[in-house]
Amino acid sequence: MSNAVITPAMLDTPLCFDAMREVGSGLGSGGFVVYDTTRSIVDVLGVLLRFLAVESCGQCNACKLGTGAMSEIVQRVQRGEAEQTDLETLLRRSHTVTDQNRCFLPVGAQLIVGSTVEAFVDEFVATVEAGDPTPADLPIPLIDWIDDDTGEVTWHPRVHLRRSDWADADEDPVATRLAALRGEGTGED
Ligand code: SF4
């Protein structure tokens, strides 16, 4: 969650620091989150930004406010309520989210937003134009356990309950958000 997106054309890139840097991304700690074409890139960006916005510790205003603002914009796109100018605002906020940063978290947010919107701009524009809610059924990709025998992954059971103040929500915000996206509620966190 801290480097530029890798598109299908880059999948043969060797997993080393130099090669990953050459394609405009990075190796980081060697972990990857992979989504196939059945997923909405808007939902992918939404879940990654929400995680970063929650985890931003709040010592630096541009980081805490910027990741939160970008997360809200993407959620608006997910709800089918965004305008094309929101995409411009999203990119503009990504330029300032790193102002006076004390750690790498907002750099990751900046890289993810910039590279994702650039690589999938048609999908973002079409999603905004359509004005329909996206599926938004992705878990926050924090792994709690991997079964050595089956390879089955268990997602962290409570990370989706965490709010920006690092308190856990009483109600499941994902369920609330999904209900809102389906027109069954009023919104989430
Ligand atoms: S830049 Fe790092 S230290 Fe500053 S608010 Fe963001 S997460 Fe916290």
Q: Is 1 a member of any domain?
A: no
Q: Is 187 a member of any domain?
A: no
CB 39 within 8 A of CB 56: no
Question: How large is the average pLDDT for residues 109-115?
Answer: 96
Q: Is 37 a member of any domain?
A: yes
Does the beta carbon of 157 lie inside 6 Å of ligand 1?
Answer: no
CA of 74 to the centre of ligand 1 (A): 21
Q: Is 3 a member of any domain?
A: no
Domain membership of residue 52 as a residue range: 8-181
Q: Return the C-alpha torsion angle 145, 146, 150, 151, nearest 10.
A: 150
Does the beta carbon of 166 lie inside 6 Å of ligand 1?
Answer: no
∠ CA 94-101-49, rounded to 5° = 40
Distance between CA atoms of 109 and 122, rounded to whole angstroms?
20
CB 25 within 8 A of CB 4: yes
pLDDT range class, residue 189, cuts 50, 70, 90? very low
What pLDDT shows up at residue 177?
67
Q: Spell out the residues 6+ positions from residue 76 whose beta carbon is closer than 8 angstroms to its own.
A: 82, 86
| pLDDT tens per residue, range 73-89 | 999 999 999 999 999 99
Distance between CA atoms of 52 and 107, rounded to whole angstroms?
11
Considering only CA atoms, which of 45, 139, 53 is closest in space to residue 87?
45
Q: What CATH number is given to the structural domain containing 143? A: 1.20.1440.230
Tally of domains within the chain: 1
CA of 98 to the centre of ligand 1 (A): 9
Distance between CA atoms of 149 and 171, rounded to whole angstroms?
34
CB 124 within 8 A of CB 41: yes
Q: Is 15 exposed, middle or buried (0-12, 13-18, 19+ CB in 10 A)?
A: exposed
Pocket-testing residue among 1, 2, 49, 63, ligand 1, by greatest number of atoms within 8 A of Cβ: 63
Q: Is 122 a member of any domain?
A: yes
What pLDDT shows up at residue 185?
58
- Name the pTM for this structure: 0.85
Distance between CA atoms of 135 and 177, rounded to whole angstroms?
11
What pLDDT shows up at residue 81?
93
